[in-house]
Structure 1
């Protein structure tokens, strides 16, 4: 009986042992342990890095381990390239189209579309095993701190823009309120956990409602001011009337700037640092508005055959190397194009292009008809494979497509119908619906790639004996910010600074409410599971960042300047140094020491 109890206890211990524990045993035992631990199947996704390292590559010493880590860094950059291509080529154009179709202004489009879409992959990642042991509150606060300091600082540095003062203070007050409410819930036992989770989850619809109501009131004020200005122009001129008219026209112009959203294209490239590091740059030529309808009908002629240049267009659009980029690139640029061409080819085969800046809005009849089949099939395979996540004693995941095959019953007939109904020289009216498939596919791919990137970062930290809490609030948080930062940089470079800033703040509110609300609602989590090491330090630095950014916006008259971006970068560097010194036991954390009372 005693031996049975020991066996059961050992089985339970192995079932609940984290995969990172593989690093704590000697090299000769790591392969066996990586195969035995069930968590290694769940912790990793596409590649079981532990089996690859210690079973297939037979790592038995530190020098070879460092060499394999260099290989993992290359894999990390491969996933980074996939994320970059997805966001730059497909994701951002689709979000701009969604903003125009919903008739949103630039800031609300950032809050409602960019923030939610960017944070959805992070929300999905929180349910994976790679984050099962991470304190959710620490993760949410470190992501928020990284978003404001790193991403916010970056868009400040790239391009100047005017921020709406009411939007900044309103959204930052929501962030502060959320932080204080969640800290209160962590420290109290009542109400029950599911009630706490429900309260936190309800804050996000309230936040969206406040933003939408403010947006509608702004448009009401615009219409009201236009009527008042029209009446004043027909009245007899006087100094008092002229001043009143001038004030109303000025107010109207400011509101119209905040209400405007256009598809823009930069006419020329510009050097970000051409005027010096501390000088806020401006484009050599202002962005010009894209004529969406002209791009759509440019090649259209009713006399053309319905399938004119069908295969020529298909080959050109499927080509992973852009001939124009190839012509104007140097040898290193061409080498980079060749390296990313396999990934680019697969993405072009699977993800539809919907871009109002391109001729025919990116429509390619034969390619889009094929994508009607390949796109849902790819998404279904990714989701089904990630759900099962089994490797069967191999370093590569098993691909499941049983459920994905059922999608062909719908997509193949639909593809044939679209092929018969459409022309090659003009996109159909429903071409914009392809952007929905684009956004869903890109979010899914970013989720998969972010999972792989976070596993690699965690393994590197474990090899160098860094605590999981330290890696969570520093390198993992920065790695999580990489996909979002790509999106915000591209938005800022193309003149959508307010959209990028709205996406940052809206993404923070979405991330905190959804992730923490779901964490409270699904389990009776103790406070130590939500707020781990460095929690108080992150909280203080996050409040300091929010108040500093608000004060900086007020001082600069809500103009984003390069000096403000550099200040935010410096603030993040201070946080990183401070946390690193805490990890090295050089300085003390803000958390109070545990006092053990001795009773007589």
Structure 2
């Protein structure tokens, strides 16, 4: 197929990056002073450094106490040695020191090209973060919730919500873990900046795309909780410290929010069952779809009475099976909307439903057409050999839909191809909706080796000594190989083994480490851009990091609104950032407080005050507007939110540039 032609592209990209990153170096060592300097090959400064090594030591001797930005005042020939010897320029987590990469690997003339390359690398990291969370982390959590037999409500507000907010939460953890002297501006900027962006630009886009009437109680609940969380965060920043009890309190507030959602949902279900138990006469005529995506009859819109109900598949039915299937789908979408999750990407459309409104694939019932496709797929799978199935599973390109993709879609497939391949190689996926639950014997056996070894590498435990000259990886590798052989012997190719339910836990662990390592690289790269271009971490957080983590919300929520679910999309605009703030600050500050004897000291700046004020104005103005318009989200409301975000961004940048002083 056409997609198979670019199968080996990830290897080419990896080799290209390796060549750029491992440019041969010339090492100069001065025995008297103990100075080690590394210069790019091809420069003519070797003799100069040998002759002036003592002068270099004099320049750098007291610079360990200087800030990293001091390298701007040095000549290019001195910058590399300063960056390598200054502790403020070193990274705590991550794998690449990007300042060292730029100023020690590239000659002066190519430094602008290096920054262009790193900006493209930043975009790739954001894409990698989203792909890992959406395609690997969330499926692992879903499978775990199935194996633990959790009901949909509990799974929705815990596992699935955590999977949806994983990029923001792990970015906050990485930013606060890498914070120097309490400078958590990157995490604060990202959480507040993303909150302002989503509650203004994304919410405004939904209102402009599809004007609608909000569900009153869920909106009021989310806004009130969000205002409380934002005010609490601002109070902590203003006091410049957070104690362990306060950090745990953020997690406790999230637990309280979950209880409110679940209790409210339970009360509503009781009321709905009472209404359904009463006999109702259905007038002659088929139901129609109203303009808000809900199902209406001569009695009016269902959505007017039930803001939580599935606006797509809730229909009156005379069969018990139809009612059961519809209510299950309704519970899924209701919980998703309540906690700010995006609408399920595979939600059934009305055209896909049976004459009674029942989802044709619910509870294992399939139409003859789908059953025919399933049988054909099984026959094709049986025709392939085990090796062929392995390579098909490892193919990072969507070959089946390649020809139907647009140019942008094909470019995106190629762009994310390297990370997609690495994830498929290391992260096992269990999907109970697929044939054999996604079991691929050779691939899953291989992942029992690649997954644990990746965990060792990303946690930098490869070089850990166990005893004498025995390294940890030398012990783990044969154990993983033995485990893989046992699984291969005790499993069959055409059916999943009884212990297949354990693979989601391995997938969860590996995907968590993937997300955390990618988030660390994003944080390190943004900090490098801040030092190079003299930008504060708050500005980088409210712009690049917030935009990078929120662009997916913008696209998915607008798509959901266009499909006729504006209420669900607007619920995600307030419930999602609330979840990210509570757990992002709660988890990260709890870890930081434990590391610092129960108290984590944070810095406070004028820009953080602007961030908190911008989010407060956004939430309070939305609340006031909805109360005045009786919860009607009009296009005027959307354009107002656009103007509000533009004004917020201008004030924030003017504050950063010291034009506005508070």
**TM-score of the superposed pair, with normalisation by structure 1:** 0.72
Q: Is the 8 A contact 1:373 1:412 kept in 2?
A: yes
Q: 1:547–1:252: structure 2 CA closer, same or farther, 3 Å change rule? A: closer
- In structure 1, the partner of 2:42 is none
Picking from 511, 519, 522, the partner of 1:453 is 522
1:28 correspondence with 2:101: no
Q: Per-residue deviation at 1:175?
A: 2.3
**Partners of 2:451 and 2:510 within 8 A in 1:** yes
Which of 103, 121, 133 is the aligned partner of 2:183?
133
The higher-RCO structure (CA 8 Å, 6+ apart) is 1
Unmatched segments (≥5 aa) in structure 1 = 1-9, 234-245, 269-282, 389-400, 592-600
Distance 2:483 2:207 in 1: 45
Determine which of 249, 260, 274 is the counterpart of 2:331.
Answer: 260
After superposition, the C-alpha distances for 1:31-75 in whole angstroms (9 at most, x for unaligned) are 11111023433256222222222122133xxx6432221121122
Corresponding residue number in structure 2 for 1:362: 438
- Pick one of 155, 171, 180 that aligns with 2:231: 180
- Tell me which protein shows more strand as a share of its residues: 2
Structure 2 CA distance for partners of 1:424 and 1:128, relative to 1, 3 Å: same
Distance in 2 separating the partners of 1:155 and 1:91 = 27
Tell me the distance in 2 between the aligned counterparts of 1:226 and 1:433: 40
* Partner deviation per Cα, 1:399-458 (whole Å, 9 max, x = no partner): xx9545555566545544544454444545665654444344333323322332333333
Say which of 559, 571, 582 aligns to 2:655.
582
- Farther-moved stretch of structure 1 (493-502 vs 413-422): 493-502
Instruction: Look up the match of 1:510.
Output: 583
Tell me if structure 1 keeps the 8 A contact 2:141–2:159.
no
Maintained 8 Å contact 1:226/1:252: no
Alignment of 1:75-86 (within 5 A): 75-86=121-132
Tell me the SS of whatever aligns to 1:324: coil
**Residue aligned with 1:575, SS:** helix
Matches within 5 A, 1:158-557: 164-184=215-235, 193-227=243-277, 229=278, 256-257=309-310, 259-261=330-332, 265=346, 290-291=361-362, 293=364, 298=374, 309-329=385-405, 337-355=413-431, 359-384=435-460, 402-403=471-472, 406-408=475-477, 411-427=480-496, 431=500, 433-481=502-550, 497=569, 500-501=572-573, 502-516=575-589, 523=596, 529-551=602-624
Q: Residue 260 of structure 1 aligns to a residue in which SS?
A: helix
**Which secondary structure state, in structure 2, belongs to the residue aligned with residue 265 of structure 1?**
coil
Q: How many residues align?
A: 538
Alpha-carbon distance, 1:120 to partner: 3.4
CA, structure 1 residues 567+369, in 2 after alignment: closer, same or farther (shift >3 Å)? farther
Aligned in 2, Cα 1:354/1:44: closer, same or farther, shift over 3 Å? Answer: same
In the other structure, the counterpart of 1:395 is: none
| RMSD of aligned residue pairs (Cα, Å) | 4.9
Q: How far 1:27 sits from its partner (Å)?
A: 2.6
Q: How far apart, in 1, do the equivalents of 2:234 and 2:586 lie? A: 13
Asked if 1:66 corresponds to 2:116, the answer is no
**Secondary structure in structure 1 of the residue aligned to 2:511:** helix
Distance 1:431 1:567, change over 3 A: farther
Q: Aligned-pair distance for 1:201?
A: 4.5
Aligned 8 A contact 2:593 2:599 in 1? no
TM-score, normalising length: structure 2? 0.66
Query: What do the CA deviations read for 1:352-374 (whole angstroms, capped 9, x no partner)?
Result: 23446655553322212222332
**1:574 CA displacement:** 1.9
- Give 2:135's aligned residue: 89
Shift of 1:542: 0.7
Q: Mark the CA change 1:162 to 1:369 in structure 2 (over 3 Å): closer, same or farther.
A: farther
CA distance in 1, matches of 2:159, 2:381: 41
Against the structure 1 CA distance between its residues 158 and 446, is the aligned structure 2 distance closer, same or farther, given a 3 Å change threshold?
A: farther
Per the TM alignment, residue 147 of structure 1 is displaced from its structure 2 partner at its CA by: 4.0
Give the conservation status (yes or no) of the 8 Å contact 1:193–1:524: no
Tell me the residue number matched to 2:645.
572
Residues 302 and 548 (structure 1), Cα distance of their counterparts in 2 relative to 1, 3 Å cut? closer
Q: Output one character per residue of 1:73-110: Cα deviation in whole Å (capped at 9) or x when no partner.
A: 12223323423432443344445556775332597469
Cα distance in 1 between the residues matched to 2:457 and 2:400: 34
1: CA distance, partners of 2:595 / 2:164: 24
CA contact (8 A) 2:173 2:588 kept: no
SS of 1:42's equivalent in the other structure is coil
| Residue 156 (structure 1) shift | 6.2
- 3-state DSSP class of the match of 2:606? coil
Over 3 Å counting, the alpha-carbon distance change for 1:467 and 1:507 in structure 2 is: closer
Distance 1:176 1:73, change over 3 A: same
Tell me if structure 1 keeps the 8 A contact 2:428–2:504.
yes
Q: Determine if contact 2:90/2:97 at 8 Å carries over to the other structure.
A: yes
Q: For each residue in 1:3-50, what CA deviation from the matched residue of structure 2 results, as whole angstroms up to 9, or x when unmatched?
A: xxxxxxx99975565544434544332111111023433256222222
